Chain A
């Protein structure tokens, strides 16, 4: 996250410093504090908030993977729910048919995701922008159809139940356990993304995003890196889907509607394109949003009258917020955050000095 504004007086004088993930003392302190808060959260939180936090972590994994694809490689996907669905069904089917343990199903989901990523990504070699979005949208419907077909043919028409997985004789069961599981996976995903983005792969993606022809002229194998973006993103999304299946102990195609895809796209937009922090903020926002609306609605007088309309109010409010962000704050929450940072960094001045101005 090198784009953060930083006060003067900070210089890197060795490669070790240049490679370090956390470069200043302030960053180390805040990261440690934040880590402690995250680790200690289950000790103080109620079951409801713990579930909410777990959902946010799960959504972060999905949003991070979509951010790699859309925010960095510039490839638009409207098929994210299809990939989550594929991961969830891989886990569900392997468990139901072969009673496979979790340390097999998760890698299997990743492999299925990666293969699907190739399929989702192939159109991107030929199509751009809108048409690519449309082709991933179409693939979403195909994947969801296949899931539904499996449910119907095998007689699980209401969905597949998945029991709590055992790992080394320890049953992954209960809110606190799953919170830590998701925390570990979210942290690993974040670390993977940060490191991917500051290596050759990440630079290639950014180059392709900025200008495809120039990237090609610079010797970047555009086709390979585009496919790689789809493969990595899809594999992560599929693992997130599998985790979702275990966490909810239930898989059904109903959960993977087009609306879920839109929610993930919204996370990326509301959070702020081209920022991993944005993906996490977006995941937090979109996940918590319905609960906030619910609270707000129940706080109104004659709350009972609206209770049945909650679903519709949520839909409308979500659409409205998405529109507001698209129209008024295309940089997303990260844009707001950076503006606040810059404000304090420049205080008491209002603007950056004009570039090139002489005193």
Chain B
């Protein structure tokens, strides 16, 4: 088992507990929407999402070194780069797996994850790094009314999660490309018949998914540094997506809240060692009772 990284930064009044749950849940929600985007559009479960998330934070580190002194440029270029990485992953790898067996596609993402993990260590080394330092940011703890405390970047993370979900909802509901994405997810054949370029849609989904994952990765690494163990967080966010229903964005939020709450409470009241396993125990419970998740579509099960 890899070393643990938990997000209970401050001990423990009831209000503090609530804040911890909120922070952890927004982390999971921000990561989980990446799983949902790709699954909803192309029925592929991207198990390399944790690694892609880390790629995002390492990209931020690099741009922070390159554009020392102008953090805005650094962050903006890191965001653009991570979008590009996602698109490239689709164009050069996952495009070859379209139409293959679902399992083969999933295993390809697993293999991609391993490849990325190796490459990241080769390029950026395995040491713990601090992008916040490289950007010249400090991370003060803010005092909330009621005596609870939250670190600055954790607060920003909650804001970014809310903004991301709002943007995604708007995009999928009203944007022309968003509507096309939903169409491609509902019925790829019909969508293609209507002149929607499926490859472009899938590439966009991969790009957006990597982008949101990278946002999560950047904020986590700004908050608490950047090590290889971040992959574990990415993997733990995946039960959140599944509990909510793999093809539902609302579900991802609810799932993230459930998983986040269970994890924080278990760490607090039962055993800190449970941190890595609680999301998966909740996942098993849900798979037994309601495998398609809280908000997922039931017919999915047979199609997979």
Contact = CB atoms under 8 A, between A and B. Distances in A.
Interface of A: 76, 123, 126-131, 133-135, 137-139, 141-142, 144-145, 148-149, 152, 253-254, 257-259, 262, 265-266, 269, 309, 311-320, 322-323, 326-327, 330
Contacts, number: 130
B238 to A, nearest CB: 8
Nearest to B275: A145
A33 to B, nearest CB: 35
A273 to B, nearest CB: 10
Given A144-B1, A257-B1, A312-B126, A262 B96 contact: no
Mostly helix, strand, loop or mixed at chain A's interface?
A: helix
A130 B291 contact: no
A1 to B, nearest CB: 24
Contacts of A317: 118
Nearest to B120: A312
Contacts of B113: 319
A315 B118 contact: yes
A151 to B, nearest CB: 10
Interface centre among B45, B100, B103, B276 (most CB of A within 10 A): B103
B68 interface: no
Interface string B1-45: 110000000000000000000000000000000000000000001
B280 A141 contact: yes
Given A313-B122, A315-B121, A326 B277 contact: no
Interface of B: 1-2, 45, 93, 96-97, 100, 102-104, 106-108, 110-119, 121-122, 126, 235, 239, 242, 273-274, 276-277, 280-281, 283-284, 287-288, 291, 301-302, 304
Nearest to B274: A145
Dominant SS among interface residues on chain B? helix
Which of B102, B103, B114, B121 is the most central at the interface, judged by chain A CB atoms within 10 Å of its CB?
Answer: B114
B287 A313 contact: no
Contacts of A144: 1, 277
B124 to A, nearest CB: 10
Contacts of B110: 262, 265, 322
Nearest to A322: B111
Given A138-B281, A138-B287, 19 more contacts: A76-B103, A126-B288, A134-B283, A135-B287, A137-B280, A141-B276, A141-B280, A142-B280, A144-B1, A145-B274, A257-B1, A257-B2, A266-B111, A315-B115, A317-B118, A319-B116, A319-B117, A323-B108, A330-B104
